[in-house]
Amino acid sequence: MSVDLLPHSFFVLPDGARLRYAVLDAEGVAQKILLVLPGRREFIEKKARELEPLRLLGYRLVILELRGQGLSSRFLSGAARQRDHIDDFALYLEDLRCFFDATLRPSLSLPLLVHGHSLGGHVALRWLIEDAPPISGAFLTAPMLALSTTFTHLAAYGLAWASVHLFHKGREYAPFQHDFDSRNTVFSDNQFTHEEARFRVMEQYFTAHSDLIVGGVDWSWLLAALHSMQITHHSSYLARLACPVLVLTGGQDPVTPAKEIEPILDALPGLSCHRIEAARHDILNEADPMREEAWHHFRAWEQSGNI
Protein backbone atom coordinates (compact mmCIF):
# COMPACT_ATOMS: atom_id res chain seq x y z
CA MET A 1 0.00 0.00 0.00
CA SER A 2 1.39 3.40 -0.98
CA VAL A 3 1.56 5.94 1.82
CA ASP A 4 2.61 8.85 -0.35
CA LEU A 5 0.92 12.17 0.31
CA LEU A 6 -1.52 13.32 -2.36
CA PRO A 7 -0.91 16.58 -4.23
CA HIS A 8 -2.24 19.34 -2.02
CA SER A 9 -2.28 23.07 -1.39
CA PHE A 10 -2.43 25.32 1.66
CA PHE A 11 -5.03 28.02 2.25
CA VAL A 12 -3.64 30.87 4.37
CA LEU A 13 -6.08 32.28 6.91
CA PRO A 14 -6.16 35.95 8.00
CA ASP A 15 -4.25 35.11 11.20
CA GLY A 16 -1.48 33.36 9.24
CA ALA A 17 -2.56 29.79 10.04
CA ARG A 18 -2.69 27.36 7.10
CA LEU A 19 -5.29 24.76 6.15
CA ARG A 20 -4.19 21.87 3.95
CA TYR A 21 -6.62 20.84 1.23
CA ALA A 22 -6.67 18.70 -1.89
CA VAL A 23 -8.83 18.73 -5.01
CA LEU A 24 -9.34 15.29 -6.57
CA ASP A 25 -10.92 15.45 -10.00
CA ALA A 26 -13.81 13.16 -10.82
CA GLU A 27 -13.44 10.18 -13.10
CA GLY A 28 -14.61 11.63 -16.42
CA VAL A 29 -16.59 14.85 -16.47
CA ALA A 30 -17.41 16.14 -13.00
CA GLN A 31 -21.13 16.22 -12.25
CA LYS A 32 -21.03 17.50 -8.67
CA ILE A 33 -18.58 18.76 -6.08
CA LEU A 34 -18.25 17.22 -2.63
CA LEU A 35 -16.64 19.33 0.09
CA VAL A 36 -15.21 16.89 2.63
CA LEU A 37 -14.57 17.69 6.31
CA PRO A 38 -12.72 14.76 7.93
CA GLY A 39 -13.12 13.73 11.53
CA ARG A 40 -10.69 14.20 14.40
CA ARG A 41 -7.28 12.64 13.70
CA GLU A 42 -8.23 12.02 10.05
CA PHE A 43 -6.41 13.44 7.04
CA ILE A 44 -6.78 13.90 3.30
CA GLU A 45 -5.29 10.60 2.18
CA LYS A 46 -7.51 8.51 4.47
CA LYS A 47 -10.70 10.22 3.32
CA ALA A 48 -9.66 9.98 -0.34
CA ARG A 49 -9.48 6.19 -0.02
CA GLU A 50 -12.88 5.98 1.64
CA LEU A 51 -14.61 8.28 -0.85
CA GLU A 52 -13.12 6.85 -4.03
CA PRO A 53 -16.52 5.33 -4.99
CA LEU A 54 -17.96 8.86 -5.19
CA ARG A 55 -15.06 10.16 -7.26
CA LEU A 56 -15.73 7.31 -9.70
CA LEU A 57 -19.39 8.34 -9.80
CA GLY A 58 -18.51 11.84 -11.04
CA TYR A 59 -17.87 13.77 -7.84
CA ARG A 60 -14.97 16.19 -7.64
CA LEU A 61 -13.66 15.89 -4.08
CA VAL A 62 -12.41 18.91 -2.17
CA ILE A 63 -10.97 17.59 1.09
CA LEU A 64 -10.12 20.12 3.80
CA GLU A 65 -8.18 19.37 6.98
CA LEU A 66 -9.53 21.42 9.87
CA ARG A 67 -7.13 23.49 11.92
CA GLY A 68 -5.29 21.18 14.32
CA GLN A 69 -5.69 18.13 12.06
CA GLY A 70 -3.42 16.52 9.50
CA LEU A 71 -0.85 18.96 8.13
CA SER A 72 -2.97 22.03 8.81
CA SER A 73 -1.60 24.44 11.41
CA ARG A 74 -1.64 23.19 14.98
CA PHE A 75 -2.57 25.16 18.06
CA LEU A 76 0.31 23.86 20.18
CA SER A 77 3.94 23.21 19.33
CA GLY A 78 6.97 21.34 20.60
CA ALA A 79 6.27 18.45 22.96
CA ALA A 80 2.57 19.39 23.05
CA ARG A 81 2.10 19.41 19.25
CA GLN A 82 0.07 16.19 19.23
CA ARG A 83 -2.50 17.47 21.71
CA ASP A 84 -5.82 18.37 20.13
CA HIS A 85 -6.59 21.85 21.43
CA ILE A 86 -9.12 24.58 20.71
CA ASP A 87 -10.81 27.18 22.90
CA ASP A 88 -14.01 27.63 20.89
CA PHE A 89 -15.47 25.67 17.98
CA ALA A 90 -16.49 29.02 16.48
CA LEU A 91 -12.94 29.14 15.12
CA TYR A 92 -13.54 25.98 13.06
CA LEU A 93 -16.60 27.70 11.58
CA GLU A 94 -14.74 30.92 10.83
CA ASP A 95 -11.90 29.00 9.16
CA LEU A 96 -14.39 27.07 7.02
CA ARG A 97 -16.22 30.28 6.13
CA CYS A 98 -12.98 31.92 4.98
CA PHE A 99 -11.95 28.88 2.93
CA PHE A 100 -15.33 28.51 1.26
CA ASP A 101 -15.74 32.19 0.43
CA ALA A 102 -12.26 32.42 -1.10
CA THR A 103 -11.90 29.08 -2.93
CA LEU A 104 -15.30 27.59 -3.75
CA ARG A 105 -17.99 30.27 -3.75
CA PRO A 106 -16.46 32.55 -6.45
CA SER A 107 -16.36 29.86 -9.17
CA LEU A 108 -19.16 27.55 -8.12
CA SER A 109 -20.73 26.16 -11.30
CA LEU A 110 -21.72 22.62 -10.25
CA PRO A 111 -24.07 21.37 -7.53
CA LEU A 112 -22.17 21.33 -4.24
CA LEU A 113 -22.67 18.83 -1.42
CA VAL A 114 -20.83 18.57 1.86
CA HIS A 115 -19.69 15.43 3.66
CA GLY A 116 -18.53 15.42 7.25
CA HIS A 117 -17.56 12.60 9.57
CA SER A 118 -17.70 12.83 13.38
CA LEU A 119 -16.04 16.18 14.24
CA GLY A 120 -16.28 17.14 10.56
CA GLY A 121 -19.98 16.26 10.59
CA HIS A 122 -20.53 18.48 13.61
CA VAL A 123 -18.72 21.43 12.03
CA ALA A 124 -20.54 20.91 8.73
CA LEU A 125 -23.94 20.89 10.42
CA ARG A 126 -23.30 24.09 12.36
CA TRP A 127 -21.95 25.80 9.25
CA LEU A 128 -25.00 24.81 7.20
CA ILE A 129 -27.37 26.07 9.88
CA GLU A 130 -25.60 29.31 10.74
CA ASP A 131 -24.38 30.38 7.28
CA ALA A 132 -26.92 28.72 4.95
CA PRO A 133 -24.32 28.36 2.15
CA PRO A 134 -25.48 27.29 -1.35
CA ILE A 135 -25.32 23.56 -0.62
CA SER A 136 -27.55 21.06 -2.44
CA GLY A 137 -27.32 18.44 0.31
CA ALA A 138 -25.31 17.15 3.25
CA PHE A 139 -24.04 13.62 3.84
CA LEU A 140 -22.95 13.06 7.44
CA THR A 141 -21.57 9.94 9.10
CA ALA A 142 -21.61 9.55 12.88
CA PRO A 143 -21.83 13.33 13.46
CA MET A 144 -20.46 14.36 16.84
CA LEU A 145 -23.64 15.58 18.53
CA ALA A 146 -23.45 13.60 21.77
CA LEU A 147 -20.82 11.47 23.43
CA SER A 148 -22.98 9.64 25.94
CA THR A 149 -26.01 10.11 28.18
CA THR A 150 -27.26 13.54 29.26
CA PHE A 151 -26.00 12.91 32.81
CA THR A 152 -22.51 11.98 31.58
CA HIS A 153 -22.49 14.99 29.27
CA LEU A 154 -23.37 17.41 32.09
CA ALA A 155 -20.90 15.81 34.49
CA ALA A 156 -18.12 16.01 31.90
CA TYR A 157 -19.00 19.63 31.15
CA GLY A 158 -18.74 20.57 34.83
CA LEU A 159 -15.42 18.79 35.25
CA ALA A 160 -14.00 20.29 32.05
CA TRP A 161 -15.15 23.80 33.01
CA ALA A 162 -13.48 23.52 36.41
CA SER A 163 -10.28 22.11 34.91
CA VAL A 164 -10.03 25.00 32.45
CA HIS A 165 -11.27 27.96 34.50
CA LEU A 166 -10.49 27.02 38.10
CA PHE A 167 -7.40 24.81 37.85
CA HIS A 168 -6.00 26.33 34.62
CA LYS A 169 -5.28 22.94 33.07
CA GLY A 170 -6.75 23.72 29.67
CA ARG A 171 -3.67 22.56 27.79
CA GLU A 172 -3.25 19.33 29.72
CA TYR A 173 -4.63 16.07 28.42
CA ALA A 174 -8.11 15.14 29.60
CA PRO A 175 -8.42 11.76 31.42
CA PHE A 176 -7.52 8.70 29.31
CA GLN A 177 -6.06 10.97 26.61
CA HIS A 178 -2.42 10.78 25.53
CA ASP A 179 -0.03 11.03 22.61
CA PHE A 180 -0.66 8.53 19.82
CA ASP A 181 1.23 5.35 20.73
CA SER A 182 0.96 1.56 20.80
CA ARG A 183 -2.28 1.76 22.78
CA ASN A 184 -3.93 3.24 19.69
CA THR A 185 -2.81 0.42 17.41
CA VAL A 186 -4.49 -2.53 19.18
CA PHE A 187 -7.05 -3.82 16.71
CA SER A 188 -8.82 -6.32 18.98
CA ASP A 189 -10.65 -3.74 21.08
CA ASN A 190 -10.82 -0.78 18.71
CA GLN A 191 -13.99 1.35 18.51
CA PHE A 192 -13.77 2.24 14.84
CA THR A 193 -13.91 -0.68 12.39
CA HIS A 194 -14.16 -4.45 12.03
CA GLU A 195 -11.72 -4.42 9.09
CA GLU A 196 -8.09 -4.71 10.25
CA ALA A 197 -6.46 -3.73 6.95
CA ARG A 198 -8.42 -0.46 6.92
CA PHE A 199 -7.77 0.04 10.64
CA ARG A 200 -4.01 -0.05 9.89
CA VAL A 201 -4.13 2.69 7.25
CA MET A 202 -3.90 5.53 9.78
CA GLU A 203 -1.02 3.88 11.62
CA GLN A 204 0.87 3.32 8.35
CA TYR A 205 0.53 6.95 7.32
CA PHE A 206 1.52 8.13 10.79
CA THR A 207 4.64 5.96 10.62
CA ALA A 208 5.60 7.39 7.23
CA HIS A 209 4.62 11.00 8.00
CA SER A 210 4.92 11.76 11.70
CA ASP A 211 3.70 15.35 11.28
CA LEU A 212 0.23 13.92 10.51
CA ILE A 213 -0.09 12.46 14.01
CA VAL A 214 -2.81 13.81 16.29
CA GLY A 215 -3.03 12.53 19.84
CA GLY A 216 -5.83 12.83 22.35
CA VAL A 217 -7.77 15.94 23.39
CA ASP A 218 -6.95 18.39 26.14
CA TRP A 219 -9.38 19.91 28.63
CA SER A 220 -9.95 23.03 26.51
CA TRP A 221 -10.89 20.99 23.44
CA LEU A 222 -13.25 18.84 25.51
CA LEU A 223 -14.96 21.88 27.05
CA ALA A 224 -15.33 23.56 23.65
CA ALA A 225 -16.73 20.35 22.14
CA LEU A 226 -19.28 19.87 24.90
CA HIS A 227 -20.38 23.50 24.63
CA SER A 228 -20.75 23.25 20.85
CA MET A 229 -22.72 20.01 21.16
CA GLN A 230 -25.10 21.71 23.58
CA ILE A 231 -25.85 24.31 20.90
CA THR A 232 -27.02 21.53 18.57
CA HIS A 233 -29.35 20.06 21.23
CA HIS A 234 -31.97 22.78 20.69
CA SER A 235 -34.64 21.71 18.23
CA SER A 236 -35.28 25.34 17.22
CA TYR A 237 -31.63 25.62 16.17
CA LEU A 238 -31.67 22.42 14.12
CA ALA A 239 -34.95 23.42 12.46
CA ARG A 240 -33.08 26.20 10.65
CA LEU A 241 -31.29 23.71 8.36
CA ALA A 242 -32.24 24.59 4.78
CA CYS A 243 -30.94 21.61 2.76
CA PRO A 244 -31.64 17.85 2.66
CA VAL A 245 -29.37 15.76 4.84
CA LEU A 246 -28.49 12.07 4.89
CA VAL A 247 -27.10 10.80 8.18
CA LEU A 248 -25.63 7.34 8.73
CA THR A 249 -25.06 6.09 12.27
CA GLY A 250 -23.37 2.94 13.53
CA GLY A 251 -25.25 0.50 15.73
CA GLN A 252 -21.96 -0.51 17.42
CA ASP A 253 -20.53 3.00 17.67
CA PRO A 254 -19.38 3.81 21.25
CA VAL A 255 -17.88 7.19 20.27
CA THR A 256 -21.05 8.91 19.05
CA PRO A 257 -23.71 6.38 20.11
CA ALA A 258 -26.62 6.08 17.69
CA LYS A 259 -29.18 5.91 20.48
CA GLU A 260 -27.95 9.27 21.78
CA ILE A 261 -27.59 11.23 18.55
CA GLU A 262 -30.62 9.95 16.61
CA PRO A 263 -33.22 11.64 18.89
CA ILE A 264 -31.32 14.92 18.41
CA LEU A 265 -31.25 14.46 14.65
CA ASP A 266 -35.04 14.02 14.54
CA ALA A 267 -35.41 17.81 14.74
CA LEU A 268 -33.70 18.30 11.36
CA PRO A 269 -36.04 19.08 8.46
CA GLY A 270 -35.36 17.07 5.31
CA LEU A 271 -33.64 14.34 7.31
CA SER A 272 -32.99 10.84 6.01
CA CYS A 273 -31.33 8.81 8.77
CA HIS A 274 -30.26 5.17 8.64
CA ARG A 275 -28.57 3.07 11.29
CA ILE A 276 -26.08 0.48 10.05
CA GLU A 277 -26.46 -1.97 12.90
CA ALA A 278 -23.15 -3.83 12.50
CA ALA A 279 -21.01 -0.71 12.02
CA ARG A 280 -18.70 0.91 14.52
CA HIS A 281 -17.77 4.60 14.48
CA ASP A 282 -15.75 4.79 11.25
CA ILE A 283 -18.60 3.77 8.94
CA LEU A 284 -16.93 4.42 5.58
CA ASN A 285 -13.78 2.64 6.79
CA GLU A 286 -15.70 -0.45 7.85
CA ALA A 287 -15.74 -3.98 6.43
CA ASP A 288 -17.21 -4.36 2.95
CA PRO A 289 -20.76 -5.39 3.99
CA MET A 290 -21.18 -2.23 6.09
CA ARG A 291 -19.61 -0.04 3.41
CA GLU A 292 -21.91 -1.53 0.79
CA GLU A 293 -24.91 -0.80 2.99
CA ALA A 294 -23.69 2.78 3.43
CA TRP A 295 -23.30 3.30 -0.32
CA HIS A 296 -26.72 1.74 -0.93
CA HIS A 297 -28.30 4.38 1.33
CA PHE A 298 -26.29 7.14 -0.35
CA ARG A 299 -27.30 6.10 -3.87
CA ALA A 300 -30.97 5.87 -2.87
CA TRP A 301 -30.79 9.33 -1.28
CA GLU A 302 -29.00 10.80 -4.29
CA GLN A 303 -31.60 9.35 -6.67
CA SER A 304 -34.57 10.52 -4.58
CA GLY A 305 -34.71 13.78 -6.48
CA ASN A 306 -34.21 15.92 -3.38
CA ILE A 307 -30.63 17.00 -4.16
**pLDDT for the residue numbered 295:** 98
What's the predicted TM-score (pTM) here? 0.98
Which helix (H) or strand (E) segment holds residue 119: the answer is helix 119-131
Q: Report residue 187's pLDDT band, with 50, 70 and 90 as the boundaries.
A: very high
Across all residues in the chain, what is the average pLDDT? 97
- By DSSP bridging, strand 271-276 and strand 112-117 are unpaired
- Could you tell me the CA-to-CA distances from 259 to 146, 148, 250, 284 in Å, in that order? 10, 9, 10, 19
Average pLDDT over residues 211-238: 98
Residue 232 backbone dihedrals phi, psi, to 5 degrees: -80, -5
Residue-wise pLDDT for 242-261, tens only, equals 999 999 999 999 999 999 99
| Whole-number Å distance between alpha carbons of 155 and 151 | 6
Q: What is the DSSP letter of 240?
A: T
Which helix (H) or strand (E) segment holds residue 115: the answer is strand 112-117
- Could you tell me the CA-to-CA distances from 224 to 79, 215, 296 in Å, in that order? 22, 17, 35
| Structural domains for the chain | 9-302 (3.40.50.1820)
Using the predicted structure, report yes or no on whether residue 125 has a pLDDT greater than 90.
yes
Q: What is the DSSP letter of 84?
A: B
**pLDDT for the residue numbered 244:** 97
Residue 251 backbone dihedrals phi, psi, to 5 degrees: -65, -20
Classify residue 107 as exposed, middle or buried by CB count within 10 Å of its CB (0-12, 13-18, 19+). exposed
219-231 vs 119-131: helix crossing angle, rounded to 10: 50
Q: What is the DSSP letter of 60?
A: E
